[in-house]
Amino acid sequence: MTCSFFFSSPTKTLLAEDEGAVLSGCSKERQALLSDVARAFGSRRGSQFLVGAIPFSEEAPVRLFCPTLITQSGRWWADGARQSSNEPSSAPSRTSADCSSASPEGATFVDDVRAAVDAIARRELKKVVLARARDVPLTRAPDVQQVMRELHAKNPHGFTYSLSLPGGNGKPPSTLVGASPELLLSKRGARVVSVPLAGSAPRSSDSTEDRARARELLRSVKDRHEHQLVVQQVLEALAPFTRNLRCEPEPIVTATSSMWHLSTRVEGTVRDPNVSALQLALALHPTPAVCGTPTRDARAFIEHTDRFDRGYFTGTLGHMDAAGDGDWVVTIRCAELSSSNARLFAGAGIVGSSVPELELAETTAKMRTILDALGVAGAA
């Protein structure tokens, strides 16, 4: 699995062994980026696939390329993983990482949530997604293949991915790895599907308590409000491109190994067959699930508040073929792995009724996805 790009969905696996033609640009210059993609596909030696990721910042460079060596197959069966289901459990630990309020970073996050709640009370925002980053020193270089197996085994119904990052500006080369539960956009022919997630609760290893948390999440006024803000914006973003656009009338609860989420499926049919999956993904990104609403105001608040570069966290990652069909997922439950460090990311959607300590607990639970895959114990 040592490669430039790896993507596994519940039905398909795609592996790019080389980079081929590398694209430049940023998501802010959307039309220029789409034109470059069209030229790459139209060249005589052009690849039949585009793969890679778009960062959260609309001004940061994209990591997109058209590989010449690519392998496609069906569902990936990740042999050799310690875990084999998405039931909540504890992985064997080699070391520990403090992701709690006892750490200075955790205490700062609590303060940031309070500031966001105050801004929402002043009606400057409706919702904003705040993020955390934690650096976990590693005693030896991580086995990326094994980490990917663990991520897939614990979240077999999600999207497991890796992307090589070249480094630069003082940063060593690294690999972005993750197991996203959230489908930003899938396009097959004229059919378009998006499955936004928003509103979350940590899972419990006690089955009775775990089921109770799922029921509470479905009844939560705060989480239902947060979720509806995301669904509404997804519908508004897709409406100009689609007809017969519809969504489920009520959200459902879906599970990963560490979290319960509210989920709603949105479907439609594209009006113009030439509209590509990447074009639709760019129209959606960033949704309020990873940024907030209003988008411009939420971005400004995040730029002022974030104390680190999100990079590809809360961006979008995926693939597209020359016909414009493909899958793009929200780049969450992820980390950047170098030879001696793992940088973990997690975020939480903040609305007016958010409780800072509970949002911290939520982000700590989300970091467990990567910590468990690395075999690192995280603070509760």
Q: What is the pLDDT of residues 204-246, one digit of tens each?
A: 999 999 999 999 999 999 999 999 999 999 999 999 999 999 9
377: pLDDT confidence band, cut at 50, 70 and 90?
A: low
For domain 5-73+99-375, give the fold: Anthranilate synthase (3.60.120)
Question: What average pLDDT does the chain have?
Answer: 91
Can you give the pLDDT at residue 133?
96
pLDDT, tens digit, for every residue of 80-123? Answer: 666 544 555 443 333 445 555 567 888 999 999 999 999 999 99
Report the distance separating Cα 40 and Cα 50, nearest Å.
9
The pair of structure tokens assigned to 257 is 């190994």
Can you give the pLDDT at residue 339?
94
Of all residues in the chain, the percent with pLDDT exceeding 90 is 81
The catalytic residue positions are 127, 182
Domain map of the chain by residue range? 5-73+99-375
Report the distance separating Cα 339 and Cα 348, nearest Å.
28
pLDDT, tens digit, for every residue of 245-298? Answer: 999 999 999 999 899 999 999 999 999 999 999 999 999 999 999 999 999 999
The pTM of this model reads 0.92
Report the distance separating Cα 379 and Cα 28, nearest Å.
38
Q: What are the Cα distances from residue 273, in Å, to 49, 189, 244, 245, 277?
A: 18, 7, 15, 16, 11
Comparing 256 with 47, which gets the higher pLDDT?
Answer: 256
The pair of structure tokens assigned to 18 is 């080389």
Backbone angles phi, psi at 143, to 5 degrees: -85, 95
pLDDT, tens digit, for every residue of 165-198? Answer: 998 788 889 999 999 999 999 999 999 999 999 9
